[in-house]
Amino acid sequence: MEDWIALNNESMPNEQERVLLTDGETILIGYYILSENHINWFFGENVLRDFDVQWWTPLPPLPPKIKRAETV
């Protein structure tokens, strides 16, 4: 997996690009939308409302899909 990148004005992921995010303890998948110069973060888990994003990294490639046996 890629190295973690500190979140600052010079190293932001692309807007609406899903990435791994961390506050140093918890890791989530999320993305952001910029509106009127304010960053709005959206996470897969809405339980963590006060999650302070400190680091990000691109998502790893998805594993191959497993073909399941056809049922008759």
Domain chopping of the chain, boundaries: 5-48
User: Band of the pLDDT at 1, cuts 50, 70, 90?
Assistant: very low
Question: Any idea which residue has 């690009």 for tokens?
Answer: 17
Counting Cα atoms < 13 Å in the Cβ hemisphere of 29 gives 5
| Region 42-70 average pLDDT | 82
End-to-end CA separation in angstroms for the chain:
41
Chain segment 32-54, per-residue pLDDT in tens: 999 988 888 888 766 666 788 89
Question: For the CA atoms of 52, 54, 58, 62, what is the dihedral angle to 10 degrees?
Answer: -40
Question: Any idea which residue has 């692309």 for tokens?
Answer: 14
